Chains A and B, each alone.
Chain A
Amino acid sequence: MKEIVRDDDNLLRRVIFTSPNYVKPDQSVTSFAFQPRRINNVPEMLSVDIERLTNYEASIADRFNYRLYAIPARTVREIGLDCEHDPLLENYAHALITGEISKARSRQLASSARRIHYPD
């Protein structure tokens, strides 16, 4: 069953931080962390997890190569995008950020994301 993504929900995005590294020296992330793949020149939607429906261990999946960044659903909507719950069999917390994610919007998402201090 799909849930409503509330404005006060935090959305978790896994960010690679080994080689290559999407985490900058000041711990902010590059806009590529919030840029979807393009298939046949059509951008896919951006996979995230709804924080209240998961835990950090499950969401990070690979804590040796990834870190988690959180962005409020309200922020996603304020910059002209949207988010919807998209539960998967293996991941009920899965959600999608939808809309046209331009490079400028990716930068806005990245600059609004805050690091989750897990596992360190």
Chain B
Amino acid sequence: MPASNSLMLDIDPDVSTLPRIVDERYSVTDRNTIANTTSISIVVFSYMTLTTAAKDIVSKINHFKTLKENWDSYGALPTSADAINEAISFVRMADRNLLPFYFTAPGPNGELVIEFRRGHKEAAAYFNPDNTTELILSENNQTILEGSVEENYKDLLQFINA
């Protein structure tokens, strides 16, 4: 029996302030499931309960908003607001898919990276100021795959969570 909204949520979230609940670029879920109201409620519940690791990553990413030009003394640019927003949406999606967050850092050109690690497998998802993304999967320091996050999200899940 499907759970009702009232059973799943003990508070009534302000949906207008939530990010896109289902980001089609990264989604690997069947659309029929997404269309089901009950399933969407579960997603909302998932958003409300980010894991500690995901919360920590989001907190660090939000801190990047405070960086001024030349924050690294090599002339680095402040982190792009677009890159930050995209990355935070991605963290929510990745957390739902149980990806093991390891590290995040701002780059010298306004981009940022979110890294995952499981054993000798590593993945780095880059969010660029021009709204492009890059994904690098590597194992034992050998690059396995290079591409965009959007086009290779399923590969990321299979690689890290396998």
Contact = CB atoms under 8 A, between A and B. Distances in A.
A38 B107 CA distance: 11
Interface residues of B, number: 28
Contacts of A19: 63
Contacts of B63: 19-20
A85 interface: no
B141 A108 contact: yes
B62 to A, nearest CB: 12
A30 B106 CA distance: 10
B49 to A, nearest CB: 24
Interface residues of A, number: 22
Give the interface SS of chain A, mostly helix, strand, loop or mixed.
Answer: mixed
A16 B71 CA distance: 9
B105 A111 contact: no
Given A32-B107, A35-B108, A24 B102 contact: yes
A35 B143 contact: no
A39 to B, nearest CB: 9
Contact of B146 (A32, A62, A104): A104
Interface in B58-72: 60, 63-64, 67, 71-72
B137 to A, nearest CB: 11
A16 B73 CA distance: 9
B82 interface: no
A98 interface: no
Interface of A: 14, 16, 19-22, 24-25, 30-32, 35-38, 47, 62, 103-104, 107-108, 111
14 contacts: A20-B63, A22-B105, A24-B102, A24-B103, A30-B103, A31-B113, A32-B105, A32-B108, A37-B76, A38-B109, A62-B73, A103-B134, A103-B146, A111-B141
